[in-house]
Structure 1
Amino acid sequence: MSLRYPSLLAALAAPALVSAAPVGDLSSVQKHLQSVESMTASFTQTDRAGKVLTGVLTLKKPGKIRFQYEKGVPILIVGDGKSLWFLDYSVGQKQRWPIGGSPLGILLDPSRDMRGIASVVPTGNPETVAVDAADPKHPEYGRISLVFVRNATAPGGLMLQGWVALDSQNNRTTIRLSNQRFNAPVSNSAFQWRDPTPASGRK
């Protein structure tokens, strides 16, 4: 099945940036990710053709994430703790990926050591931190670049602003976040979903 919309389960391509990266920023990013137990945010998704979709992101560690798209968009992406699911209700189909095989695993696994897969990308702005990550043993997973701004009130002193993803088919997707809220209670029921395939029950 080919995805009707570019996959969010791809990794990020960092923009071309200049200047030297401050030493220790990778540790700061690791600290931020370990400090975030849950997050909710509004998101704007832009694909390589310029198509824009909006929605609400809900995250809970370990392994749970939900991209709830705007009304009228018949797709849903959910991580249920073990797998990431792409659900297309318009055609009654679904796809599954193991969370460990997705670049989004960086956001979902608090124990993940970034040192072997990630590097800081110079941004030219001391208030912005960008990290590019890819598994050298699995280039088919693509790349993910996370962008943060320094914010003393956010976990670990960083606020996740979004990411850009590039999958193995060179499909590029940009996610921008707003209205971020960290570490508020999130029910596990937020990561349940209705199976779109015929004669299936509720997950």
Structure 2
Amino acid sequence: MLSCVLASGRDLQEVLKSVEQRYNRAATLEVRFEQRYLTQGRATRVETGDLSLRKPGRMRWQYANPAGKLFISDGKWLWFYSPVENRAERSQLKNADDFRAPLAFLLGKLDFRRDFGQFEFKEAAGDTNIVAHAKTDRLPYTQVEFTVTPQNVIRRLVVTGVDSSVMEFQFTAERLNPALSDTLFRYTPPKGVEIVEANQ
């Protein structure tokens, strides 16, 4: 059992439960994101855009930078479209090994103790940092660090891959339960785009 008490007076179990309740009760979610690819702690590439989530299992990463880049899940299939390469890659969601996969827990039932093994906690500038270690070695990541505000909003994720690569997501302008059209989570490749099947 987690019984440590933070400097704010909040019990760690309380923090985890509050975050779980916030996102488990939401049917849809919208945020703006900044995605950083880190090497030795330094950003080698920064991308931005808007993320839309809808239960069960739907997500849309619409990139503004680089413009036109798109990552969509319809609950069964994942599509990744790169306008630069003029290629759309399709894979099954259950076989996804992309770093965005850890965010899929926001689309289902978030359960820290079920989804992760050991935890480390610390407070910084009023927020709580939760380092959650992967429960098994069969996952594409070894740990996920969550930065949670006093209002139980996840504003930052840092995902460390099994190859020691690191990807950081920062979220702003979060909206719970906005009306989202089904068409957001459907993808039809543009004419002339190369289609590649992956993870078959």
Aligned length: 175
SS in 1 for 2:122: coil
Decide which structure has greater strand share.
Answer: 2
Distance 2:26 2:65 in 1: 28
Distance 2:165 2:135 in 1: 19
Check 1:164–1:47 CA distance in 2 against 1; reply closer, same or farther (3 A cut).
same
| Residue 69 (structure 2) aligns with | 75
Query: What letter corresponds to residue 186 of structure 1 in structure 2?
Result: L
The Cα RMSD (Å) is 2.8
Larger radius of gyration: 2
Query: What letter corresponds to residue 129 of structure 1 in structure 2?
Result: T
Q: Offset at 1:178?
A: 0.9
SS in 2 for 1:184: coil
| Residue 82 (structure 2) aligns with | 88
SS in 2 for 1:36: coil
| Residue 198 (structure 1) aligns with | 194
Identity between Structure 1 and Structure 2 (%) = 21
SS in 2 for 1:190: helix
With normalisation by structure 2, the TM-score equals: 0.73
* Structure 2, unpaired ranges of 5+: 1-5
The answer to whether 1:29 aligns with 2:29 is no
Q: 2:131–2:144: 8 Å Cα contact kept in structure 1? A: yes
Q: Deviations over 1:166-186 (max 9, x none)?
A: 222222111111111111111
Query: What letter corresponds to residue 23 of structure 1 in structure 2?
Result: L
- The structure with higher relative contact order (CA 8 Å, sep 6+) is 1
Check 1:81–1:133 CA distance in 2 against 1; reply closer, same or farther (3 A cut).
farther
